[in-house]
Amino acid sequence: MIVALAFSLVACGESGGDKASGNADSQTIKIAYLPITHSLAVLEEVKELQAEDGIQIELVKYGSWPELLDALNTNRVDGASVLIELAMKSKQEGIGLKAVALGHKDGNVLIVSNDIDKVEDLKGKTFAIPHRQSSHNILLNDALAKGGLTVDDINITELAPTEMPSALASGTIDGYCVAEPFGAMGVSLGAGKVLYSSEELWEDSLCCGLVLTDQFIEEHPDETKQFVEGYKKAGANLNKEKAKEVAKEYLNQTDEVLDISLQWISYDNLDITKETYDTLVEKVKAYGLSDTPPSYEEFVLQ
């Protein structure tokens, strides 16, 4: 109980400076996020909506996916920018939520130590992913398949994203795949290099999704529409310069790390299409993340 309380205090204390406007009629929507480049579209939307009279966003920052997920699954927030597989798992377990948009397009890399030249060299090595329920796990499986390997040929460890670059530098792990900019950080440190980018392994890959709770969607249908439209517009506005500007404000990363990382990602057209979602579902089943992921109709807000 004490630990849980401490987490929630930290989360509240760290929420961004993004309060509702003085207008008592405006609706505030509480969105959980991690300080990663994959959540920049919602951070940009906060800035854009601040200048408007309607819906306002209160950001709640978390330090890890389990903490963020706990807040989402217990309705302490109205929505989140979250790994889509984690949200699918929550949905499968009966949590009322829907995905309303993608977090980003592409934007993941497999980082390996400098002595690894091809995926076959990973045999018997240790590779880190943030969570079993992640596109990073899927991308690892896709990469191994290219070399005729499976996850049984390597050691997989789950690490917090922030720990991965230093774990690679110290030789504790031999590679990792995780939300950005932590891949770019490994490159910037000289600890490793890019073995594959996500689009080389999985065209139109899905990774993060923007999700809202069913409760918010049902109680605030107009605000939901306004929020989702504003989000997609904010994503479309995120060219490289703007993305870097927002990232510098929220992510506390160096210019070099952001310049490396932002080459790999884009934020335009964040609709979740049935075709790309169905490909994700196939991979989730094939690689053993889940036998019964939710269907497109169940999971994605129509």
Mark the segment that binds Zn ion (CB under 5 A) among 24-32, 33-41, 181-189, 262-270: 33-41
CB closer to Zn ion out of 107 and 293: 107
Mark the segment that binds Zn ion (CB under 5 A) among 3-11, 190-198, 199-207, 288-296: 199-207
Mark the segment that binds Zn ion (CB under 5 A) among 3-11, 32-40, 238-246, 273-281: 32-40
Pick from 80, 207, 212, 280 the residue near Zn ion by CB under 5 A: 207
Pick from 97, 173, 208, 262 the residue near Zn ion by CB under 5 A: 208
Min CB(103)–Zn ion separation in Å? 5
CB closer to Zn ion out of 216 and 264: 264
Spatial separation of the C-alpha atoms in residues 265 and 221, rounded to whole Å: 31
Residue 105 touching Zn ion (CB under 5 A): no
- Dihedral Cα 270, 271, 272, 276, nearest 10 deg: -80
Residue 110 touching Zn ion (CB under 5 A): no
Min CB(181)–Zn ion separation in Å? 12
Residue 280 touching Zn ion (CB under 5 A): no
Residue 265 touching Zn ion (CB under 5 A): no
136 neighbors 111 (Cβ within 8 angstroms): no
User: Coil, strand, or helix at residue 23?
Assistant: coil
Spell out the residues 6+ positions from residue 1 whose beta carbon is closer than 8 angstroms to its own: none
85 neighbors 108 (Cβ within 8 angstroms): no
CB closer to Zn ion out of 62 and 223: 62
Residue 101 touching Zn ion (CB under 5 A): no
Residue 38 touching Zn ion (CB under 5 A): yes
Residue 159's φ and ψ, nearest 5 degrees, are -130, 155
The Cβ of residue 31 has, within 10 Å, a number of other Cβ atoms equal to 28
Spatial separation of the C-alpha atoms in residues 284 and 85, rounded to whole Å: 8
The Cβ of residue 186 has, within 10 Å, a number of other Cβ atoms equal to 28
- State the residues that interact with Zn ion by CB under 5 A: 38, 103, 207-208
